[in-house]
Structure 1
Amino acid sequence: MPAAFHVLTTGYAHDRVAGTVTLLTEDDTVAVVDPGMVADRRLILGPLAELGIEPREVTDVVFSHHHPDHTLNAALFPKARFHDHMAVYRDDIWEDRDADGYAISPSITLMTTPGHTPEDISTLATTDQGLVVLTHLWWSAEGPADDPFAPDRDQLRAAREKVLALNPALIVPGHGAPFAPSPTTPI
């Protein structure tokens, strides 16, 4: 059975900043991706409760990168394993591993996609809608074409091309609503 996905809160980046926070579930896996800055923690906890999920039931948390707008609320999930570009963390255990190809569950895997930062990863979820990619390679459907934080524009372009080559049905960007990639998607 494929993974299910729900956007818990849609992010934005204007005068104020909030990250898009997403839930992925498959069998016993309950994963939250990028539990970062939001105007109120209830914007994460409320949608979880509506889905019948308590914070202690979250098994995994994925950080696309280590900016606070994507990590600030990680402590809401006390039983979770935490995933980033280089390791899995739980309590006082630090397990080094390469994120590229790491499977959280049969339908949820990680892929290295340096671009916004050199350590960025994307989460790939095979769902009933098709492949959904959760990534900060785009802030929203509009881009920006030139990420003002990207240290290497060529690296960003290569990672975006890598994601688009997978023909995802949806991209969940770092600060916006999910979108279907199109020929006008910034590369």
Structure 2
Amino acid sequence: MSYLLRKISITKWQPNLSQEPQHYTADAITGCTRTTRNTLSVWHSETMDFASEDVEKLIVALATTMQTPDTIDLIWLEPEWLNEAGVTIEATMGGSKFTDINHEHRDLVGIDHSLLAKVGQHIVQQYNRDRIIYYKRISRPNLITLMNKWVNERNVVKIDELNEKWQKVLAA
């Protein structure tokens, strides 16, 4: 089975966790599931094990696209559920600085108002389903430690290609 990893802002979703989809706040939809050219970015994985090396690579790839090291919230989405809801998933090359993993990038494409609501519904369902399995918060210090491992120890991401704020933290 495969899964899709999405970075979310759980604070935006908190007011919606006990709501029906038609009552979700606009902030969650517009602030957390912000689209570009009617697509949403996700990362493909064959495992949901946040401690696995494969998932670490996805998190690092995602982190390389961030402007600054910060706490992140992650949620596992299920491609089968999304497909049944009418969401199309396309393999697209990611734009991360972890180029070896960019082939695992996917886009949810053709997202309109109705499909965006369904994606939001799935995010809430996954969070409420089992937070230990489907959701993970990675603190800023833990994200920096993870980035340090893959940038400075394993040398799979070039530090000089990262944002200046990342460079400053990882060079310290």
Q: Structure 1-normalised TM-score?
A: 0.29
- Which protein has the bigger strand share? 1
Question: Higher relative CO (CA 8 A, sep ≥ 6), structure 1 or 2?
Answer: 2
- Which protein has the bigger helix share? 2
Q: Structure 2-normalised TM-score?
A: 0.31
Q: Which has the larger radius of gyration?
A: 2
